[in-house]
Amino acid sequence: MKIRNPKYEIRISILLFFSTLVFFSCKEKEPDPVPDISTNPGFFVVNEGNYTWGNSTLSFYDNVTGEIQNQIFYRANNVPLGDVAYAMYVYQGKGFITINNSGKIYVIDPYSFKHSRTIQGLVSPRQIFFLNEQTALVSDLYDSRITVINPQTVSVSSTIETGNSTEGFASSGNNILVTCWSFQNRVLVLDKTSLNITDTLITGVQPRWIKCDKNGTAWVLCDGGYAGNPAGFENPSFYTISQSLQIEKKIEFPSTQYATYGFDINTAGDSIYFIRNGVNVISINDSVFPSNTLIQANGRNFYGIRCHPDGNKLIVTDAANFSSDGKVFIYTTSGHMLNSYTSGINPSWVCFRE
Verdict on whether the full-model pTM lies above 0.85: yes
- Are 207 and 222 within 8 A, CB to CB? yes
Question: Looking at the domain assignment, is residue 343 inside a domain?
Answer: no
**What confidence tens digit (pLDDT) does each residue in 138-191 have?**
999 999 999 999 999 999 999 999 999 999 999 999 999 999 999 999 999 999
Domain membership of residue 295 (yes or no) is no
pLDDT digits (tens, 9 = 90+) for 309-330: 999 999 999 999 999 999 999 9
- Does residue 11 belong to any structural domain of this protein? no
Residue 286, domain member (yes or no): no
Question: Which residue segment(s) compose the domain that 39 sits in?
Answer: 31-128
Q: Is residue 113 part of a domain?
A: yes
Q: Lowest-pLDDT range, 97-111, 230-244, 251-265, 294-308?
A: 251-265
Other Cβ atoms closer than 10 A to 75:
18
- Asked if residue 114 belongs to a domain, the reply is yes
Number of domains composing the chain: 1
Alpha-carbon Rg for the chain, nearest whole angstrom, is 24
Strand pairing class (197-202; 207-212): unpaired
Query: Whole-angstrom Cα distance, residue 176 to residue 178?
Result: 6
Cα separation values, 347 from 45, 107, 180, 221, Å = 6, 20, 23, 20
Q: Give a yes or no: residue 96 inside a domain.
A: yes
Residue 62 lies in a domain: yes
Which one, of 269, 101, 253, 299, lies nearest residue 171 by Cα? 269
Taking the C-alpha atoms of residue 329 and residue 351, their distance in angstroms, rounded to an integer, is 14
DSSP 8-state assignment for residue 353: E
Complete DSSP assignment for 78-119:
SS---S-EEEEEEETTEEEEEETTTTEEEEE-TTT--EEEEE
